[in-house]
Structure 1
């Protein structure tokens, strides 16, 4: 709905008409694609896994998911954030983090139940040695509390704990951004660098090592998404220059050649520079610089290539849009389905036909579930779309001079 507002300029009046803010579906589409990719990667050992983004560059769907989440948080929290309302924002972010925690508990204990059932019914005890399950079963007294306290994470069930930790950081990120976007990026980047250099991360309780996805490292990518989105919403523009575009394209091409050509031996040459591994390695736990730069370069190209932008802008009832709109529910469902898939493939000795067939069926089930959630949402809202109007670009403003001509 257009909003007309009169303003006195000298002795004349003019009205400013703000064009309606439509929900930008590109975020939903990208989130939907990321969810499908994560599901495919979480059912390892089938041919579709060879076609996902991790095989063609340094980063994968996890980096895309976190960056998109940061952008979404910038839209949901940042546009109305005021330092005086910091406590309310903190409460809201904490509630969201708790929701993510509950979702993680659901996927974790469903995974345990699925692998235990598979091992018992099909007489395949080897299933209990998969994805860090055995450490829990051999010490239930410490294992169950470790799961509940996030001190032990079952394999392929480690994105939500990291994301929940990032949500707890949102109030601080927004407060720093309110003072200065550059300050927010500088503080976040410093934390990322120190965490990677000195391996500062939440420790596991049952086994050696750290969380697979260290929130102190991944918060930098998350913060970039928040700060960038809020900058655009305030009317700013992301830097556009032929040199930047060429650099981004060259880096993406280099990453493609590196991964496809299996040129990992060149990593030894990078390590010989004597720099910290976080700057020269390809570690996912601490989000090494090559991975970080790759997802940012890809994002820069997507933003600056109009054809890609148009391709991603789908209708509100497009299947990918609907899938991405219900991202948390679909992520939980996709994780559980992926765990079923791992059990099925293990039982069938990673049959070359069973795996791809299961993946196709699993994706179809997620789309069906998304449509169910969408129908339910529309019934609850009486057929009216109450989704917030959100855009990835500044809302266009046009000045109506018709009154001046009267």
Structure 2
């Protein structure tokens, strides 16, 4: 085992068994010289003209500033960072934060490490070793039950970097010398889809054909900026409450599965809605489809005027109060914001042709129509606990 020693300035090269190491041959004076360029020749003693020369750049950093410094860390090596992010299932492989440490030498390279013994943390996050990017790696991030994670991010210099084909060693460094930052990340799921109401009255024109689209539910969402991201599906938790008259499509189209003549008064369908980025967070909707006649000369302005006339006759507190309009392809539906009353109507060319049903709260089916005429003050559906609404089709008032 032959060992060969070569000394050059403050360095000593030790060659043994085809291996060579560059070691310090004494203390380095940073103030005098902080970088060196070594010309190292390697040759095969048994082969003539076999010498190869490599250049080795060595940089020296002072002991008291040798740790890489985080950009937001001014006076010490340990700080706290708290961040909150709204994530969805599309957040997988998304960079949610980038850690950046400043080296003391412009050519020094820094490695970043996520320091956590928590398996759940390691299954949700991944830290890019060279860029410092914190990445979501969980396949189903929106459905996780644990929302807050705490861990430590470490930054330390690389011992060896490659630049211009030459090896560069950073001397006077130790892997135990690190900058650390304590971080807490809270991941929040997006909110569920919000609608103008969770019970939507839908107009089914008497002239509609089987298989036709009678409405699209996306227009009832409160956030129209995200309407294209809203998806729909049938509610299969209680199939008994659904029917074969209506079919919901993924894009919100409501398709008529039968002829309107087969629907007596109204039909009900329960559906679920969700953002496609967050299918686990669902909103349950109840669709109440009512048979209505086609409107011809009637306009909403005229209709609203007639409603105001009824209010002046003290009929306001019975059926006409707090009405809001639903329009669909030239047909008009009305619904009350009062939770006890649901009023819909099909109108032809005469505004007085409004048809009413009383809905039983237990069976959710129409009971015998009431002959109301114009005596609204004699009938108040809210006094009967079994009556939850007055809706479209048989009795004219």
Range of TM-score over shorter length: under 0.3
The structure showing larger relative contact order (alpha-carbon pairs under 8 Å, at least 6 residues apart) is 1
Name the one with the larger strand percent.
Answer: 2
Which structure: larger Rg? 2
Name the one with the larger helix percent.
Answer: 1
TM-score by length of 1: 0.20
